[in-house]
Every structure is written in C-alpha cells, then in structure tokens.
C-alpha cells in the first residue's frame, strides 16, 4: 500500500503512539473506501511487534450515506418546483386574478397538474422504498406472466376513451407460472409500457414480445423474456447506462411535461433484481427503444 496517509498512520504507531486511524479512498481498480487502524500491542514486546494494522473495506457505508444525501437533495429539488408554482398561483389568485374567471380556470388546471405530479412522485418514492426493504428476499409467489401482461395492457386501453394506444402483444401461448410477486411485476410492465406509449409516436404501435428461452444472460436455467418496444425518437448511447438512476432524465423538460417522476426505471431495475432477473436496454436515435426483462422460470 503506497498511500501516504496510510503509511503515516502506521509510522505514528511504530514511532511510539498507542493507536492511529485514517480513512482513505482509492479509485483503482474500482472506487473503494478503506478504514485503516493501527495499534501498538501491549505485553508482546518480546515478539518485537511494532504495530498491528487492520484494513476494513467500508465502501458500502460511505456509498449508502452518499446515496441517502443525494436522494434527499433530489427529492427536495423535485418538490420545490411544483410547490413554488403552486405558491405563485395562489398569490396571483388572491390578488391580480381574483375576479378573472378565465384566469382562475387556467390556474386551477395548472394547480391540478402540479398536485398530481407531487402525488405521483410521493407514490413512486413509497414504491421504491418498499422494494428496497425486500431487496434481498426473493418473492415466494407464482405468477402467470402472459395473463398479467394482458391485464396491464387492458388498463391502458380502457383508460384512453378517445385515442386508444395501439399495443400489440405476441406470446407463444399459455405457460407454467414463474416465481414472482404479482404486484411488483405488474408495476414493472406498467412502467415500461407507459414509457413506450409516452415516448413512442402516436402513429406507430407499442410491441410487446414474450418468449421462452433455454438460457439468458446472467440467469441459471431457463428464462422468460419480455421485450417492450416503441418506434419513438430513441435514446443516445451516452444516456443508456444511466437510465435506471433515480431522477435521471434524458430530456428533463420533456419528461416533466409528460408527467414523469424520474423514478420509473429505477423501480423497474430494483424489482427485476429482486426477482433475480436482468434488464437490458437497446435504443437507436430516430428508430426507437426496446426494454427487455429476463426472468428465471424456476
């Protein structure tokens, strides 16, 4: 170990101090945080031990703290915008627009939109927290995946009375249930299909393809794959690795206009991981995007 702080910590004890501690951060080969503690042992002088040194990897503690602080900062930022908008509208309605009926209707629509946005944000935060609590516990239920996806599609079709989305579902037919949590997997495909509808084009269909695979990347044994594809504007390659980060948006303004919270794909990733599955993203600018979920069959 060549880190000057680490060497100084040990040298201080070798030169007479009873104990010394230091925390160092390294970036190679991966970002790591190490806690180094050196102590001078008592009663072992005959062994000529100058210091006993322990090196502990505490990266997970520091990463959790950073994630927590970033999370609070992001939530504060996300809530500040609609709250500021609501405060400004309320002030306007109390003063300048209190007798303007047309202005009142206009501002009430904005207030409804901003309140809905905050409600969605809080709902997604609660969903994410719930998934994280059970992140290391595999679901013990059984799910009929084709039936579940058909039910999710039905909710989108029934929601749009005038312009119903064109959603096409291809499946090899009935199949054995797979291990999973029905509510969580419903949320996975609800989020993916909703994104495909939002960011696709109205003239092109959303395609959902379910397939049975003898093997899949990172999964032992057989798997089911569900690919959700749109023919929208696509996503530049530099954004793809970060799509599942909390509050990450490719186009922040467009995402907000469409009611996105920036948490949908983070929730998808956590749920898929809990099911010991994999999420794969492919996209080409001007062509469209495909989000594929791989789930083990046993």
Peptide bond into 29 cis (omega under 30): yes
Going by the DSSP 8-state scheme, the letter that residue 297 receives in this structure is -
- 0.75 cut: is pTM over it? no
Listed in order, strand segments (DSSP E) in 27-69 are 32-39, 52-57
**Which pLDDT value is given to residue 225?**
93
Kindly list the structural domains of the chain, giving each domain's residue range(s) and its CATH number in brackets, ordered by start: 4-57 (no CATH), 63-133 (1.10.287.130), 142-296 (3.30.565.10)
Phi first, then psi: give them for residue 216, nearest 5 degrees.
-145, 155
- pLDDT for residue 92: 84
Report yes or no: 229 and 189 within 8 Å, Cβ to Cβ.
Answer: no
Query: What pLDDT does 253 receive?
Result: 58
DSSP H helices in the chain: 4-14, 59-94, 101-133, 145-159, 182-199, 252-257, 264-274
pLDDT at 249: 78
Per DSSP, what are the bridge partners of residue 289?
230, 283
CA–CA separation, 269 and 293 (whole Å): 9
Nearest residue to 293 via CA among 277, 274, 282: 277
Strand-pair partners of 178? 143
CA angle 163, 165, 171 (to 5 degrees): 155
**What's the confidence (pLDDT) of residue 28?**
64
* Burial tier of 180 (Cβ tally within 10 Å: 0-12, 13-18, 19+): buried
| pLDDT under 70: residue ranges of the chain | 28-30, 44-47, 67, 70, 160-163, 252-260
Per-residue pLDDT tens over the stretch 161-200: 556 788 999 998 888 999 999 999 999 999 999 999 988 8
CA dihedral 171, 152, 226, 121 (to 10 degrees): 170
């Amino acid at each position: 170990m060549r880190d000057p702080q680490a060497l100084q910590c040990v040298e201080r004890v070798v030169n007479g101090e009873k104990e010394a501690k230091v925390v160092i951060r390294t970036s190679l080969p991966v970002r790591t945080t190490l806690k180094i503690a050196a102590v001078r042992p008592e009663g072992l002088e005959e062994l000529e031990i100058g210091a006993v040194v322990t090196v502990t990897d505490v990266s997970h503690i520091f990463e959790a703290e950073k994630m927590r602080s970033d999370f609070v900062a992001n939530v504060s930022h996300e809530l500040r915008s609609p709250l500021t908008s609501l405060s400004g509208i309320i002030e306007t309605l109390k003063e300048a627009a209190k007798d303007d009926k047309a202005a009142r209707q206009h501002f009430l629509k904005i207030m409804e939109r901003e309140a809905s946005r905050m409600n969605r944000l809080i709902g997604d935060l609660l969903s994410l927290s719930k998934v994280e609590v059970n992140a290391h516990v595999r679901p013990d239920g059984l799910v009929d995946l084709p039936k579940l996806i058909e039910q999710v599609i039905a909710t989108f079709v029934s929601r749009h009375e005038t312009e119903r989305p064109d959603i096409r579902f291809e499946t090899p037919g009935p199949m054995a249930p797979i291990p999973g949590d029905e509510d969580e997997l419903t949320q996975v495909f609800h989020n993916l299909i909703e994104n495909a509808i939002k960011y696709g084009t109205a003239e092109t269909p959303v395609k959902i393809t379910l397939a049975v695979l003898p093997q899949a990347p990172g999964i032992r044994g057989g798997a089911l794959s569900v690919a959700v594809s749109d023919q929208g504007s696509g996503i530049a390659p530099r954004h793809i690795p970060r799509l599942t980060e909390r509050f990450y948006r490719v186009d922040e303004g467009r995402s907000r206009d469409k009611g996105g919270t920036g948490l949908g794909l983070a929730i998808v990733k956590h749920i898929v991981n809990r099911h010991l599955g994999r999420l794969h993203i492919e996209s080409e600018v001007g062509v469209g995007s495909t989000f594929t979920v791989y789930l083990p069959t046993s």
